[in-house]
Amino acid sequence: MISAMNSSSSNLPLRSLFEAQHRASRGHIDVPLALRRDRLLRVRRLLDQHGAALSAAVEADFGIRSAHLTEVADLLVLRSSLAHTLKFLARWMRPEKVETPLHLLPSRAFLQRQPLGVVGVVSPWNYPLQLALAPAVTAMAAGNRVMLKPSELTPRTSALMAELIAQSFAADEFCVVQGGPEVAQEFVSLPFDHLVFTGSTETGRKVAAAAAANLTPTTLELGGKSPCILDVSVDMDSAALKIAHGKLLNAGQTCIAPDYVMLPRGQEAAFAEAFGRAVARLFPVIQGNPDYAAIINARQHARLGALLAEAQSQGARLQPVNAPVGPDTSEVARQMLPVLVFDTQPGMKLMQEELFGPVLPVMSYDTLPQAIGYINERARPLALYWFGRDKAAREQVLANTVSGGVCINDTLMHVAHDNLPFGGVGESGWGAYHGVTGFLRFTQQKPVMISSRWARGDLFYPPYGPRFQRAMGWIKWLF
């Protein structure tokens, strides 16, 4: 048995941690509002008291990533989600009355909202606080116990989260499991009541297969190639600024980052110039600037370099964005300069793989249906971005494309909207969380019917004869 511990687990193996949570969940099914709120408030206190230390751990894991970036992209999102959930939790927990059909009156029915039990969360390295704690918070709001497996690629952040969570929660409430791929494989093979995975599509397939052995329902938050469509009516400078922000936040290491741009043919030079101005405004200096994150490790940096080299060897034109550079250190060397890529071909790996870095292919289209057709011939994206002022063109794109989410005239911001679900579709994932959607994702909506003493269900009992025929005739008349 592979052991996976945090300081609250008393060196218990992974299966024992799960079994403790499982027993606790079955012995305490009715989780009251007060306890759910208390658990959420403990998370909020953890963030308030240790936010600076957590940000420092993230920066140490990346090499270069400012506390301001973590505050915006991780902590602010978590605080907003906590505030929203605490505000509406009592309303979300209430049983939902449902209308009873005439032939079952005067009985009544409702949906009773109950915890699923034990929820497993496997989180990635790119936003190691937000993508670990946001689904955990939502699962606890729904009354569940949570086991969290954070990424081994951010070891300092994972270790500090484990320590702080162990100080605030009993292991059978909320615990952190640390370890590498072998531990992750064992983790996703546990018979959770629900499993949340955020990561690549390739790994998501393996997680889904492991969960299927236990009939464990899953929420898979994956990735894909999220397009930006620029309409002929676009304000180029505004669009370029927002695309640059969405692409270069965390140096492109964002699952919903714009992955490629589609713009009207003939606008390539205008976009390149506007994008360059936008980058200069956001990052007056790239290398050495703590607000511009480093690529997480040398392997990922080399992967991006190889994609660019292959594309260039096949005829693509690379246009690095001119930016001042700082001193050459090992961390600065992983602060990859933004690169626009023109003259791409669909067969290039650059156009097939999710980029996850500051590399932005630019494609040209002649007509809007041509752009829509290109998107629809490929796997459905996690996000789609449209820029322009032509409402008819906007509606054409919305009506004729399918994606996990859409943001009009901006990037990324739809994920910060607490009333919008966040999730993928097809190869970009399934299931969604955030807000009430997430609460219901981690909730069993148990249908309950209370039969009235005046109910006449006996009309449908055998033996079937004239009385039954009259009852059926009456029901057919109702319908």
What is the 8-class DSSP label of residue 71? I
Q: What is the CA radius of gyration of the chain?
A: 26
Q: How far is CA 158 from the centre of its chain?
A: 18
Q: Which of 175, 228, 255, 407 is catalytic?
A: 255
Quick one: which of 233, 254, 232 has its CA closest to 243? 254
Rounded Cα–Cα distance for residues 318 and 56 (Å): 35
What six digits make up the tokens of 331?
A: 């961390």
Write phi, then psi, for 330 (nearest 5 degrees): -65, -35
Element (H, E) at 48: helix 33-62
Distances (CA, A) of 370 to 243, 265, 398: 21, 12, 15
Rounded Cα–Cα distance for residues 411 and 131 (Å): 18
Q: Which residue bears the tokens 């492991």?
A: 210
What ranges in 249-367 are assigned the alpha helix state H? 268-282, 298-313
Residues 6+ apart with CB under 8 A from 424: 220, 221, 222, 223, 224, 380, 382, 404, 430
Rounded Cα–Cα distance for residues 41 and 272 (Å): 47
Element (H, E) at 167: helix 155-168
Quick one: which of 443, 402, 380 has its CA closest to 31? 443
Q: Which of 221, 268, 354, 427 is catalytic?
A: 221
Rounded Cα–Cα distance for residues 308 and 236 (Å): 26
What six digits make up the tokens of 128?
A: 């190691």
List the Cα angle 471/476/479 in 5-degree steps: 130
Burial of 212 (0-12, 13-18, 19+ CB in 10 A): exposed
Q: Hey, how many other C-beta atoms are within 10 angstroms of the C-beta on 478?
A: 9
Instruction: Label the pairing between strands 145-149 and 174-176.
Output: parallel
| β-pair partners for 13 | 3
Rounded Cα–Cα distance for residues 41 and 46 (Å): 8
Q: Hey, how many other C-beta atoms are within 10 angstroms of the C-beta on 281?
A: 13
Annotation marks residue 255 as catalytic = yes
Q: Are 460 and 470 in contact (CB under 8 A)?
A: no
Rounded Cα–Cα distance for residues 146 and 187 (Å): 12
Which active-site residues does the annotation give?
221, 255
